[in-house]
């Protein structure tokens, strides 16, 4: 596994986390409400910075 530097840009930001041990990736959380239709794209704030 590689180390990735992550820092909060907002106090209410949730750091990325794995839902289950052994997951291949990490889950991100949005800092704002967003409702997307299937196939729709949008830029949504996560409140974090990843280096």
pLDDT confidence of residue 26? 93
On the 0-12 / 13-18 / 19+ scale of CB atoms within 10 A, 48 is: middle
d(CA 51, CA 6): 6
Q: How many domains does the chain have?
A: 1
Asked if 36 and 45 touch (Cβ cutoff 8 Å), the reply is no
**What pLDDT was estimated at residue 17?**
93
pLDDT tens digits, 14-50? 999 999 999 999 999 999 999 999 999 999 999 999 9
CATH of the domain at 44: 2.70.40.10
Q: If you search the block for the tokens 């280096």, which residue do you land on? A: 51
Question: Residue 19 belongs to what domain range?
Answer: 1-51
From CA 37, how far away is CA 51, in angstroms rounded?
30
Question: The whole model's pTM is what?
Answer: 0.74
């Amino acid at each position: 596994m590689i180390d990735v530097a992550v820092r909060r840009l907002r106090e209410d930001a949730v750091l990325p986390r794995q839902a289950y041990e052994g997951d291949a990736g990490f889950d991100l959380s949005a800092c704002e409400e967003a409702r997307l239709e299937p196939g729709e794209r949008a830029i949504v704030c996560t409140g974090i910075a990843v280096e």
